Amino acid sequence: MSQIALCNPFTGESVLDTQSEPFEQASERARIGQRASRAWAVLEVAERSAACRRALDYFSRNRDEIARGITREMGKPLAEAGGELDFMLERARAMCDFAESGALAPVGLERWHDDSFQGRIEFRPKGVIYIITPWNYPLFCAINGTISALLAGNAVLLKHTTCPSVGAHFEHAFGTLAGIEGLLQHVMVDFATSARIIEEADIDHVIFTGSVRGGREISASVAKRCHNDLRQPFIQCSLELGSNDAAWIAADADLEHAAHWAVKIGRLHNSGQSCCAVKRLYCHADVHDEFVERATAIMQAEIQGDPMDPATTLGPLFGGRGAVASLAGMIEDAEARGARLVTGGDTHEIGKALFLEPTLLTQCDHDMRVMREETFGPVLPVMALESDEQAAGMVTDTRYGLTSAIFTTSRSRAERYISAMDSGTVYVNRCNFVDARLGWNGRRCSGNGSIALSPLGLQALSGVHSVNIDPEQLA
């Protein structure tokens, strides 16, 4: 077993230093979860939803404490941490609405019934869902799987080692519901033990949000599991991985609106540490210069510093000096290949953290790393194009496929763009924004298309149970 350590990314102070739980303890947690799931599953969906709604009240009552913990552990500015909690509650309550409105009701096949056949498709709980969730949106990523799993009648093992206070709060809120203990347990395990949980423990599904490399490791463990003598050797995994999302600023775009969304929200929110952030931007040549001027003003207005300071808009990067060095290397590569540095590019120390200034690059092309790799920080490359058709080709020229966006005032142009895209989500006149009413999934290296959120998210964490009846033999 190894130590799990975590430091405040701004002060450098230790916020966690603990030993990984042994596999045997984590495996016992899975068995406890199976017992809890069996008791939870017999409740009506409305009862489960009501219990989850009561649990969500815990987060409202402890909002400030939870937000401060997030800021200490991953560096998100305090106001943004509080905002994430507010939107988390909105998202979770929407999922309760879906459950209460019949998202898990059987699929009726009445239109295909005849004298010899009646049938329906039911959604049954799977059992225990193992959720591995990241630091960048510690509440959002954790609630997506947790609320869907619980509403569908499952129990949860939650691994939240990079923002452990959130894991503890989730266990406190959801651990015991309707008098049933062990419905959500927070496990503190290292990578090796986590792999053993997937390969050997009594679980029924894995949800992972993180890097492409991490997704490959999870998939490898799921494959190894099938060789073990287990109750459920063949399980599914839901992968939401990295991306290199793009936005297209069409010639008719409202530039003030587009700059606010694509730069302030799309690129700079959470210091650029978002899987669905705008990481490369294409702009029609006719509006390129004006857009760049607006984008520059937005970037230069940002305030980096202590994330506990209410004036701070950009906190330190979670990956520390290594993350800054990686981004600086991409900027250097772009400049060497002909990109023009419009603003930013320099680093400076505040407290014990190294910051990279919000950076805007123009005259970019696809030979540059900054256009082809995932940039997890406040760096935005811009490329001027001449047509919608050229933009569609450039946007889809990537191994990723999480989201893409277009800014336009023409519905027909928007619909043509939507048809040309191959990403889990296509945005029109917004970006970097997740709506619980829509399924969340990715293509290619951005994930395996497993759906989170929306009514379909509840069904994705359910087992399909087909009922085939011969009515001729029934009274």
Q: Give the other-Cβ count within 10 Å of 216's Cβ.
A: 13
H/E segment holding residue 7: strand 3-7
Instruction: Supply the angle between the helices 63-74 and 164-174 in degrees, to the nearest 10.
Output: 150
| DSSP per-residue string spanning 102-145 | TTTS-EE-GGG-BTTBEEEEEEEE-SEEEEE--SSSHHHHHHHH
Catalytic residue from among 73, 84, 199, 240: 240
Catalytic residue from among 96, 275, 276, 445: 275
Report how far residue 30's alpha carbon sits from residue 37's, in angstroms, rounded to the nearest whole number: 10
Q: Give the other-Cβ count within 10 Å of 58's Cβ.
A: 15
Nearest to 30 by CA among 183, 174, 163: 183
Count, residues in the chain:
475
Query: Could you confirm whether 199 is annotated as catalytic?
Result: no
CA dihedral 349, 320, 70, 300 (to 10 degrees): 50
Report how far residue 185's alpha carbon sits from residue 170's, in angstroms, rounded to the nearest whole number: 8
> How does 66-85 read in b/e, with b if 16+ C-beta sit within 10 Å?
bbebbbbbbbbbbbbbbebb
What are the angstrom distances between the C-alpha of 456 and each of 179, 241, 317, 363, 437? 28, 19, 34, 42, 9
Strands (E) in 155-226, as ranges, are 155-159, 176-177, 180-181, 184-187, 205-209
Query: Could you confirm whether 302 is annotated as catalytic?
Result: no
Report how far residue 104's alpha carbon sits from residue 189's, in angstroms, rounded to the nearest whole number: 33
Catalytic residue IDs: 240, 275
